[in-house]
Amino acid sequence: MTKTLQQIVDDNPEAETFRFGDSPELCAEIIALVRAGTKTATCEAASAFGKGKDEWPEVGRRDIALNWDGTPAMMLETVEVRTRRFEDMDAEFVAAQGEFRDLDHWRASYEAYFRRTGGFASDMKMMCERFKMVEDFG
């Protein structure tokens, strides 16, 4: 039996819901990378979190990644959260994100993403999260 999003939320009241990326295509691509085990980390501008915005990830909390259409894709558990500046990103963390050829590709891709979604600065603070998939609803 396939669970509805409401059933999953009812069973996990502490869980946040979120979508990867900023388009249907990017969301689907990233979900596929997580399912394949290629993507085990992500990052976002620290300014995307706070009052009236997304909740800051917490180690041990399980959150629900949604498909672009709002249906549940998977349950992820946060295993590490760190803050760093954009300019301090390293190749090891970039590799764990699974989407990029190298650090230069990451920088170009994320600068474009941040410019599309609210602003970019080389010294901007970022939330860097490592996670594991604990349930696939696909």
- Residue 2: predicted pLDDT: 79
Mean per-residue pLDDT, 118-132: 95
Exposure of 122 by Cβ count < 10 A (0-12 exposed, 13-18 middle, 19+ buried)? exposed
* Sequence-ordered alpha helix ranges (H) in 17-102: 24-35, 91-97
Among left, alpha and beta (phi > 0; psi -120 to 50; other), residue 113 is alpha
pLDDT band at 138 (very low <50, low <70, confident <90, very high): confident
Identify whether the C-beta of residue 15 lies closer than 8 Å to the C-beta of residue 63: yes
Instruction: Give the β-pairing of 62-66 and 41-45.
Output: unpaired
pLDDT in tens, 9-44: 999 999 999 999 889 999 999 999 999 999 999 999
- Sheet of 17-19, strands arranged across: 17-19, 62-66, 72-85, 125-136, 41-45
Q: How do residues 62-108 score in pLDDT, each as one tens digit?
A: 999 999 999 999 999 999 999 999 999 999 999 999 999 999 999 99
Record the pTM: 0.91
Structure tokens at 33: 């990378």
Q: Is the pLDDT of residue 1 over 80?
A: no
- Domains contained in the chain, CATH given: 5-136 (3.10.400.10)
Q: Please give the pLDDT value at position 21.
A: 87
